[in-house]
Structure 1
Amino acid sequence: MFVLEFFKDVLSEPAILMGLIAMVGLIALKSPGHKILTGTLGPILGYLMLSAGANVISSNLDPLAKMIEFGFNIKGVVPNNEAVTSVAQEVLGVETMTILIFGLIFNVLIARFTRYKYVFLTGHHSFFMACLLSAVLGAIGLSGWQLILVGGFFLGAWSAISPAIGQKYTLEVTDGDEVAMGHFGSVGYYLSAAIGKVVGKNSKSTEDIKVPEKWSFLRNTTISTALTMVIFYLVSAIAAGPDFVSTLADGKSPYLYAIMCGLQFAVGVTVVYAGVRMILADLIPAFQGIATKVIPNAVPAVDCAVFFPYAPTAVILGFVSSFVGGLIGMFVLGAIGGVLIIPGLVPHFFCGATAGVYGNATGGRRGAVVGAFVNGLALAFLPALLLPVLGNLGFGNTTFGDVDFAIIGILLGKLGEWLGTVGIYGIVAVVLVVLILPSILKPAPYAINNKTED
């Protein structure tokens, strides 16, 4: 049990996982010892920087959400992956842990023996998905090794398939850099990119916005982010009133507190960017060893924040547009008598920003705005549809926030409700066909940016 707990901890730490993958790649390349050391530590430290920045962002979004909820008198459910996971762990800890381990094993086997060459490196999202699968499949009637094997298979399969679905869009985002999307909001990002293609003809990139000389300081991503978020926080603080904000400010002036939160948010974004640069500088060269010696033509699937530096202006536009979409979705749900899904600022920032980056890659400014707006609507309606499924499992009033969780949870939950375990094994059969058929139809891989694609 101790060994299982240790492996669970290792696999749920993306920093360590990235470092281990980089180390294996460098050893496969027969790199000298000092390069193995620095190449292993680089991705670990880079991801820790990314996580530190993300924590700063999340901790400063929490008071903003409370000010908006109080100031505008909004009551409902705030989707939060961490919250629903913490509830589920009280009864599903062992199942989640073992599904996580088997999911990684299946992911590696699929990448090695099929044309889906993507190795999913975002460990905390794998952990969240393992939790969702253990809850939904367990409620349908699977238990013991059936639950572990089926849950691990679904986790490993989606970890390989989801990056492949939109890799053509990811290549447009990265201008050919050999990384893939390893985040379970992926369907929302690919939808944004597809919408960008439709609405963004002749629309210039968000990064080509011409700024007059006197406003050129806005080209500095940290400063423009800080100014945007300070305005957000001040408007929310004014709406909530100084008495309420004082309860969050720990004795500090309410409006100074709002300003400092906005500035700290911008610092968090900058730290994320620095961590991403450090990850990519060491991980991609090291991954060549994996791609050539261990899993031929393997591609690393990485966290959504890794894609922020490719279009920093689209990050802010995507966040704002997604949040507006979430607000409108909330009002629509209220009007039709549904559960109010209050826009969670963490999913709308990370997922909305990424949707903006993808929409911009295919459709410029219009693609970023419209694509992220549709993503925001999805972040309202899909968690509302998932909520009854989780409610039936005893997790009422909490739900997962990202698109992939909702789609998979609803699909498996409804199939299990209608067809029981027969429906689940039917889906297993379909996924096996999806994994195997491309190798039969076209056994040889074809090029991705002069390398390979699936």
Structure 2
Amino acid sequence: MQIVNFIINNILTQASITIALIAMLGLVLQKKSLGQVISGTLKTLLGFQVLSAGSSVIVGSLLYFGDIFKLAFHTQGIVPSIEAINGQAMNDLGLGSDIALTFLAIFIFNILFARLTKWKYIFLTGQAILWMATMTTVFGYFAGLRGFVLIVVGGIVGGFFAIAMPAIAQPIIRKVTGSNDIALGHFCTIGYLFEAGVAKIFGERGENKKSIEDIELPKAFDFLQDTYLSVMVVMVPLYLITAIIAGPDAVDTGSQHHVMFAFLQSIQFVVGVYILLSGVRLLLAEIVPAFRGIAMKLVPDAIPALDCPVFFPYSPNAVILGFITTTIGTLIAMVALPVFGLATILPGMLTNFFAGGTAGIFGNAVGGRRGAIIGGIAHGFFITLLPALLVTAFGQLGFVNATATDVDTVAAALLYAWIFSPLLKMLNV
């Protein structure tokens, strides 16, 4: 068990190591020279680490923005945190080993399903698999499952999500990327498909469909065609206005004026985007060719399902639009859901950016600008509604004010709570 825990904690949950090893395996299977194997492996590792560094910079900036946002607009409620649920499950319930083994089972079943079915997707976002393992283990445990059965059922459910979500999203991903080389491996995909559906109904169609990426600007604003400058023009006012409303005592800025601090944090956000996109370009240049070795040998025609930031360079304007519209939707839901007796869920700026930005890509691809706007607001409401429903399910298990954000993992948890658990109790299992 110690060896399994070491592999999971130090390799499989470390996405950069996992993807680098998979790239190495692909190059070895293609019988590349030693130099090519070393070069491809290290460049893959470097690319993912650069991507992660960019994400970390963005996260730091968004955490600050989330703090001043709550104080500026006096929001109170539940902050979704799968990390807190994972910690409570391992420490209070003693489910650490079960979660680890379920993680491994999800990975194994994903590969088996890819080998045996027409869906040839290998889910490579290790952290997302860990959160799925946490949800299936916790809800499976309270449904009465134990030991081997708990792990296998969790592995099957998680493995199904790991292969089905990339498969269902792939038609839109092909439209966005123009190829079938990569897929989306992120457990917020139900939300992305929800936005795409809304965009299809309410968005633009045929010749009337206009992408947010093709927006025509006056000559004086040609500089906004630059991705980083366009992001800056949106984020700087957003940060400054929020900081001014929050006031100088909202967060500790040391000796620096709070408005200048907010300005520099908004610039840090743009820096993070620059680093992230650089890492994406480096990663894709290595992982796609290397993955062909696995496709040829282990899982014929296998397609790597990668984390959502990989797709940001394909539609950068839609990412920013998705972030803004999703945030609007989460604010509407925060106010509206308590009217119906549901919990107040605070907007999570990290989820709003990464999930909202990806959803914006889907909405724009399906319904153009109008689809991305209307779909984005609907997406924000949707990804707040599901965690609010999950609060009730967690409350029945003894978790106080607990919920999570990734809607695929929330859907898996509700599948256990609403279907598996009642069914098992009815059968007296």
Instruction: Give the counterpart of 2:333 among 329, 333, 356.
Output: 329
Q: 2 CA distance for matches of 1:100 and 1:322?
A: 30
Following superposition, the deviation at residue 85 of structure 1 comes to 2.6
Instruction: Give the counterpart of 1:116 among 116, 119, 126.
Output: 119
Counterpart amino acid of residue 223 in structure 2: F
SS of the aligned residue for 1:17 comes to helix
Give the 3 Å change call, closer, same or farther, for CA 322–145 of structure 1 in structure 2: same
Instruction: Between 127-136 and 225-234, report the one with greater CA deviation.
Output: 225-234
Following superposition, the deviation at residue 84 of structure 1 comes to 2.9
Q: Which residue of 2 aligns with 1:273?
A: 277
Q: Which residue of 1 aligns with 2:407?
A: 403
Q: Provide Cα deviations, 1:17-68, integer angstroms capped at 9, x if missing partner.
A: 1111111111111111111111112222111111111111111111211211
For residues 26-41 of structure 1, what are the structure 2 equivalents within 5 Å?
Answer: 26-41=27-42
Following superposition, the deviation at residue 424 of structure 1 comes to 12
Q: Which residue of 2 aligns with 1:252?
A: 256
Q: Which residue of 2 aligns with 1:227?
A: 233
SS of the aligned residue for 1:244 comes to coil
Q: Which residue of 1 aligns with 2:6?
A: 6
For residues 315-326 of structure 1, what are the structure 2 equivalents within 5 Å?
Answer: 315-326=319-330
Partners of 2:24 and 2:41 within 8 A in 1: yes
SS of the aligned residue for 1:153 comes to helix
Following superposition, the deviation at residue 401 of structure 1 comes to 0.7
For residues 431-450 of structure 1, what are the structure 2 equivalents within 5 Å?
Answer: none
SS of the aligned residue for 1:301 comes to strand
Give the 3 Å change call, closer, same or farther, for CA 307–138 of structure 1 in structure 2: same
Instruction: Give the counterpart of 2:374 among 370, 373, 389.
Output: 370
SS of the aligned residue for 1:363 comes to helix
Q: 2 CA distance for matches of 1:417 and 1:142?
A: 9
Counterpart amino acid of residue 5 in structure 1: N
Which consecutive unaligned segments of at least 5 residues does structure 2 have?
A: none
Following superposition, the deviation at residue 384 of structure 1 comes to 0.0
Q: 2 CA distance for matches of 1:84 and 1:418?
A: 22
SS of the aligned residue for 2:78 comes to coil
Q: Which residue of 2 aligns with 1:344?
A: 348
Q: Which residue of 2 aligns with 1:63?
A: 64
Following superposition, the deviation at residue 158 of structure 1 comes to 1.2
Following superposition, the deviation at residue 220 of structure 1 comes to 1.6
SS of the aligned residue for 2:250 comes to helix
TM-score (norm 1): 0.90
**Are residue 98 (structure 1) and residue 101 (structure 2) matched?**
yes
Instruction: Give the counterpart of 1:170 among 134, 153, 173.
Output: 173
Instruction: Between 135-144 and 60-69, report the one with greater CA deviation.
Output: 60-69
Q: Which residue of 2 aligns with 1:205?
A: 211
**Are residue 145 (structure 1) and residue 148 (structure 2) matched?**
yes
Q: 2 CA distance for matches of 1:317 and 1:287?
A: 32
Which consecutive unaligned segments of at least 5 residues does structure 1 have?
A: 426-454
SS of the aligned residue for 2:367 comes to helix
Q: Provide Cα deviations, 1:328-363, integer angstroms capped at 9, x if missing partner.
A: 111111333421111100111101000001111122
Following superposition, the deviation at residue 395 of structure 1 comes to 2.9
Counterpart amino acid of residue 2 in structure 2: F
Q: 1 CA distance for matches of 2:87 and 2:280?
A: 28
Partners of 1:107 and 1:160 within 8 A in 2: yes
TM-score (norm 2): 0.95
Q: 2 CA distance for matches of 1:401 and 1:20?
A: 29
Q: Which residue of 2 aligns with 1:431?
A: none
SS of the aligned residue for 2:216 comes to coil
Following superposition, the deviation at residue 373 of structure 1 comes to 1.7
Partners of 2:187 and 2:408 within 8 A in 1: yes
Q: Which residue of 1 aligns with 2:358?
A: 354
Instruction: Between 52-61 and 297-306, report the one with greater CA deviation.
Output: 52-61
Instruction: Give the counterpart of 1:386 among 368, 372, 390.
Output: 390
Q: 2 CA distance for matches of 1:122 and 1:411?
A: 22
Following superposition, the deviation at residue 421 of structure 1 comes to 6.0
Partners of 2:157 and 2:412 within 8 A in 1: no
